[in-house]
Amino acid sequence: QTVVTQEPSFSVSPGGSVTLTCGLNSGSVSTFYYPSWYQQTPGQAPRILIYNTNTRSSGVPDRFSGSILGNKAALTITGAQPYDESDYYCGLFMGSGIWVFGGGTKLTVL
Amino acid sequence: QITLKESGPTLVKPTQTLTLTCTFSGFSLSTSGVGVGWIRQPPGKALEWLAVIYWNDDKRYSPSLKSRLAITKDTSRNQVVLEMTSMDPLDSATYFCAHNIFTTTTSGFHHWGLGTLVTVSS
């Protein structure tokens, strides 16, 4: 069974930088998995931030960037703002045409 | 402007079949590369991808739920329907539908409905 792994929680100071990662229980994440990143605040629907590994969705500030770091997909937030405090999910497109989401990372900005 | 809206029962009994409808606007499900997916989220838990249907009627399901799911589309009515059989209290969740694109330059779930909360209880 495919499991997408994310840090359960992370904390960053206002103005600081943080990198969240997205891995696979078996194997490495590459661009061929078309990693995407979603931000979700309580009671709201997710919002796409990044797709195709490193392309920002329309209207997403350039403080958010995506990449592959080692064997994982990564979402980096630079100059974190208090309103960046959210849950962040990565999504991967598997070769069989299915999608899988990670368990999410709860980001605290304080 | 792309919008999606989920509709269906808020309460279903165990063993019953859940039928959810996603009604969308601002795009066509006959356009190459376009799909509509369903994702759910139990209270306080993570997103779980369920199924997707593409413009060419290609359908994909979560392997763990494949035997219980059926996704169909009505392109003329701009609707996608998801059926889930044998509902269990563990299936209680907010169910989202989302606009999906998969082309050479774009992928992912770019627009989401607000979600509909489904509770499974007798």
DSSP A51-103: ETTTEEPTT--TTEEEEEETTEEEEEESS--GGG-SEEEEEEE-TTS-EEE--
- pLDDT score of A65: 98
Contact between A88 and A104 (Cβ < 8 Å): yes
- pLDDT score of B97: 98
Nearest beta carbon to residue B107 from set A1, A89, A93: A93
Which residues in chain A have Cβ-Cβ distances shorter than 8 Å to B39? 46, 101
Residue A82 backbone dihedrals phi, psi, to 5 degrees: -55, -35
**Averaged over B76-87, what is the pLDDT?**
97
**Averaged over B77-106, what is the pLDDT?**
95
Q: What is the mean pLDDT of chain B?
A: 96
Asked if pLDDT for residue B114 goes beyond 90, the answer is yes
Q: Residue B102: pLDDT band by 50, 70, 90 thresholds?
A: confident
DSSP states along B44-84: TS--EEEEEEETT--EEE-TTTGGGEEEEEEGGGTEEEEEE
Contacts 24+ apart (CB under 8 A), B111-114: B111/B2, B111/B3, B111/B4, B111/B26, B112/A45, B112/A46, B112/A47, B112/B4, B113/A45, B113/B3, B113/B4, B113/B5, B113/B6, B113/B22, B114/A45, B114/B5, B114/B6
Q: Residue B103: pLDDT band by 50, 70, 90 thresholds?
A: confident
Residue B68 backbone dihedrals phi, psi, to 5 degrees: -110, -5
Nearest beta carbon to residue B47 from set A34, A48, A89: A89
Q: Residue B122: pLDDT band by 50, 70, 90 thresholds?
A: very high
Using a CB–CB cutoff of 8 Å, tell me whether A53 touches chain B: no
Asked if pLDDT for residue B111 goes beyond 80, the answer is yes
- pLDDT score of B105: 82
- pLDDT score of A78: 98
Q: Residue B33: pLDDT band by 50, 70, 90 thresholds?
A: very high
- Residues of chain A with confidence (pLDDT) below 70: none
- pLDDT score of A95: 75
Using a CB–CB cutoff of 8 Å, tell me whether A66 touches chain B: no
- pLDDT score of A36: 98
**Averaged over B68-75, what is the pLDDT?**
97
- pLDDT score of A25: 92
Nearest beta carbon to residue A91 from set B60, B106, B109: B109
| Residue with tokens 């497109």, as numbered in its chain | A93
Q: CA of B94, closest CA in chain A: separation in Å?
A: 10
Which residues in chain B have Cβ-Cβ distances shorter than 8 Å to A93? 102, 107
